[in-house]
Structure 1
Amino acid sequence: MNTELPELSVAQIWRYPVKSMGGERLEQAEVGRRGLVWDRGWAVRDEKIGVTRSARYIPRLLLCSARYLPGTSAGTVPHVEITLPDGSLVGSDDPGVHQRLSTAIGREVTLVSTGSLSGEAMSRQAPYETGDFETEMRMIFGLKDDEPLPDMQAMMKDVSRSDVFMQTFHDSFSINVLTTSSIRHLQNHVPSANLDVQRFRSNIIVDDGGECDFERELEWIGKRIAAGPAIFDVVAGCARCTIIAAAQQGGIARDLTITRTVVREMKQVMGIYCNVHQDGIIRTGDAVTVLNDDAAGA
């Protein structure tokens, strides 16, 4: 009996021009210190509280999608074209973009780029909407009162890399990786659910060859993986919030059974968070290799 695991390869590459909106599927992407170049280069700022917000707080952002406009410049990133929930288009260079976006999502927001805010303004946290940390976390992760909170220790230690964290719209880590074996594992528990990869908003989808049924990538935590010439430090598992169950652009329907199943069967974790160890251009079809180097403390 052959017990060897199948080869790994890059199946899909996704970049998200605007945080919490649908993204662009790419055949290749440049990886720099801050992750995929221009990933989460834009975000929306909630003008009522003066901070940038994700779909955890403004779910209708997920009903929009965005793409970069080649040959344009908004300073540190290109301009974007946004498809609103009704299918209409608006560009980031349109004087009416803020009003049209606010109307579409039902909240007064301003579209901002990484170059338009200071690091302090980008990382500033709003007061808890629910009043305290634990209640807020339960709301964000869709947890019941008797269910444990995810382990945030590994995730929070990355914030010490403030030179990266404070210059991007990532929540913490610059790269999210998900294997097809994890998707298959979840699908076996919720066979009727639509598990479109866009639900999980990962940058790199790794194909495991179709023969595995377990969360293979969790075995890589504390190690390094290579995708083509790029190398990543695998730091932590990705604790999934309610976004994975929300309605999204492209006809992806709301399905709360997905969140409940990830909590119950996968201890809230699906996919891995990584930091960039070595830059490079990754391409669909590139081999993915688990390296022997220990990434701990890197």
Structure 2
Amino acid sequence: MSGAGQTGHVAGRVSGLWRYPASSLAGESLAEMAVNADGAASDRLFGLVDAATGEIARPDASAKWHGVPSIAARLAGDGGLEIRVPAGQWLPALDEAADRAVSAFLGFEASIRPFRHEGAAGAFSPRYKKAPIHLLTTASLAELKRLHPRGNPDPRRFRPNILVDMQPLPGRFPETEWIGRKIAIGELELTVADPCRRCGFTIIAQEGGVDSDADILRTLVRNNAHNLGVYCEVTRPGTVRPGDATRFIG
């Protein structure tokens, strides 16, 4: 393995941090991110459902949900969720006005609700167990751009929690090679557990002007077994900040 995998070696530095307070909605960029054993603090507390059927939003599987990643989400100072549809205003999410705005944007009745683990009235269960931390490197984004020059591998398309800036390594998606390794990022320690297998979500237009592009996924299928980025287990909780070094510790 090259120097990028040597114990103690600085593989790169954090250049972006995101949490996703509402599943499938756009993420929230952070100046620092607290990480506990379950992942980023306040990540995926809420979800979006079809009010008539109870169906949970699945932008990867149904065109009716394709507008969802264009809806912005953030946590207010009091911890309450706020959402904003394109060209709209920020609205408290657990409010009829927010549901009306989302429904008008999507073209059917939809409602934002807390997941059941929050214990609130009207809560529901998520459709999958979230991975603790999703890490992606700029080197892998550069490799995707090399293979698909007309594409836009904007990191928001892939919804990482942590983006690590590192030098491009032509012909390689480096973090895929880190499976089983332990890394330290600031106060945080992680074990790289699994590659992140990509689905149709990556080809859909995203909030912030990220256009739809079916060749993004086709390129990953052909060149990296569907994968981009990695899922990590939390070995030691801590806070991460832009500029923090990413080091191999085992």
- Provide the TM-score with structure 2 as the length reference: 0.87
Deviation at 1:121, TM superposition (A): 4.2
Q: How many Å separate the matches in 1 of 2:156 and 2:100?
A: 27
Deviation at 1:7, TM superposition (A): 3.6
Deviation at 1:60, TM superposition (A): 0.8
Deviations 1:223-271, CA, capped at 9 Å, x for gaps: 2221111111211100001111111121211111111111111110111
2:7 is matched with none
Alignment pair present for 1:217 and 2:175: yes
Paired residues for 1:7-156 under 5 Å: 7-56=11-60, 57=62, 58-70=65-77, 72=78, 78-114=79-115, 115-116=118-119, 121-123=124-126
2:213 is matched with 255
Alignment pair present for 1:177 and 2:178: no
Q: What amino acid maps onto 2:240 in structure 1?
A: I
Query: Aligned pair count?
Result: 237
1:142 is matched with none
Q: How many Å separate the matches in 2 of 1:226 and 1:85?
A: 37
Q: How many Å separate the matches in 2 of 1:66 and 1:37?
A: 15
Is the 8 Å Cα contact of residues 19 and 54 (structure 1) preserved in structure 2?
no
CA RMSD between the two structures: 2.1
2:232 is matched with 274
Q: How many Å separate the matches in 2 of 1:117 and 1:34?
A: 20
User: Identity of aligned pairs, percent?
Assistant: 30
Is the 8 Å Cα contact of residues 51 and 121 (structure 1) preserved in structure 2?
no
2:160 is matched with 202
Is the 8 Å Cα contact of residues 17 and 67 (structure 1) preserved in structure 2?
yes
More deviation, 104-113/271-280 = 104-113
Q: Secondary structure at the match of 1:53?
A: coil
Q: How many Å separate the matches in 1 of 2:19 and 2:124?
A: 23
Is the 8 Å Cα contact of residues 94 and 112 (structure 2) preserved in structure 1?
no
Deviation at 1:281, TM superposition (A): 0.7
Q: How many Å separate the matches in 2 of 1:80 and 1:254?
A: 27
Is the 8 Å Cα contact of residues 72 and 207 (structure 2) preserved in structure 1?
yes
Is the 8 Å Cα contact of residues 140 and 168 (structure 2) preserved in structure 1?
no
- Provide the TM-score with structure 1 as the length reference: 0.74
Is the 8 Å Cα contact of residues 29 and 281 (structure 1) preserved in structure 2?
yes
Deviation at 1:106, TM superposition (A): 2.4
Is the 8 Å Cα contact of residues 220 and 290 (structure 1) preserved in structure 2?
no
In structure 2, do the counterparts of structure 1 residues 230 and 172 end up closer, same or farther at CA, with 3 Å as the change threshold? same
Q: Secondary structure at the match of 1:188?
A: helix
Q: What amino acid maps onto 1:212 in structure 2?
A: L
Is the 8 Å Cα contact of residues 83 and 98 (structure 2) preserved in structure 1?
no
Q: How many Å separate the matches in 2 of 1:95 and 1:108?
A: 11
Q: How many Å separate the matches in 1 of 2:130 and 2:112?
A: 20
Q: How many Å separate the matches in 2 of 1:38 and 1:51?
A: 23
